[in-house]
Amino acid sequence: MKFGRDSSSTPSNRRALICGISGQDGAYLAELLLAKGYTVYGTSRDAMMSGFGHLARLGLRDRVHLRSLAITDFRSVMQAFLDIEPDEIYNLAGQSSVGLSFEQPAETLESMAFGTLNLLEALRMLKSSARLYNAGSGECFGECPERPADERSPFRPRSPYGVAKAASFWEVVNYREAYGLFACSGLLFNHESPLRPARFVTRKIIQAAGQIAAGRKEKLQLGNISIQRDWGWAPEYVDAMWRMLQQPVADDFVIATGASYSLQDFVAQAFAHFNLDWRDHVTTDKSLYRPSDIAVSRGNPAKAKDQLGWSAQTHMPEVVRRMIAAEPAAGAQPGA
């Protein structure tokens, strides 16, 4: 059974399948695709139990067709493909926390590497012309102290998360070259939004700054604040995902702002919004350090600008401002 895009396909008659729609990127991608006229299907491990809170927050919960799909179960993937017959597939599923990957390395690798392999193998067996986007990561590159990483930079991951993302990246390359699938990966560097879970350090900082400004006495405890990251705005990054699947030939792209800031810079920006000196309210806790970490992470998005017409419009200071404005406990405080 064949399915997928043909030469007459337009966004208004395409079906998109988003694996991992309950996360930050999945929700923003659904919003983008619905605005373009797509019929959007979204999956999570257990659609009956998932609240899909991000979709509800964006007002999309009733506009998306939701179903259960276990990406690590090949039969589950095949059944979803046969039922939905998607034109575009976005693989955003899998364990999403770098920090958690040190505690759950096997689950991290399985959810990414095995899950991606199942999607690719199902497309190969069904002889489908559907296009697959795979969520790669700037974590694949590891350290970038001297020059920003581009598509030709070697992979030297420093976490189980980065290792798993690197494995899924090379699976995509192999199936593209060996079987002619339209499959590509976006090597996305850090991208934030108000939909980030509270366990992510950026959202933790935003929440704490607002709460301390409102009178909370406890200090914010953080790990290594000297690390540097390339922070962008998530709604812009999902647009890059879509653009990759509109290209005449499948290829991989680095998606980043091209500028790095230290975590200390991020903290200072957040507290300064409330006219607070971060040094009075933040302590360093070495127990929060990762077993191995990236000191400097930065991407070179030149290829994306040249071939996709995409470039980041929002850099770290504006990312912080937007996250604060959307935080219920922080947005209404003085200085907002």
Enzyme catalytic residues: 137, 139, 161
Structural contact between residues 161 and 95, judged by C-beta atoms closer than 8 angstroms: yes
The span from the CA of 305 to the CA of 206, in Å, is 30
Residue with tokens 């999607």: 119
The span from the CA of 9 to the CA of 13, in Å, is 7
The span from the CA of 56 to the CA of 203, in Å, is 19
Structural contact between residues 250 and 131, judged by C-beta atoms closer than 8 angstroms: yes
Dihedral, CA of residue 148, residue 181, residue 34 and residue 56, to nearest 10:
-70
Structural contact between residues 109 and 152, judged by C-beta atoms closer than 8 angstroms: no
The 3-state DSSP composition of the chain as helix, strand, coil percent (nearest 5) reads 40, 15, 45
DSSP strand pairing (15-19 vs 131-135): unpaired
Classify burial at 156, counting beta carbons within 10 Å of its beta carbon; exposed 0-12, middle 13-18, buried 19 or more: middle
Structural contact between residues 297 and 260, judged by C-beta atoms closer than 8 angstroms: yes
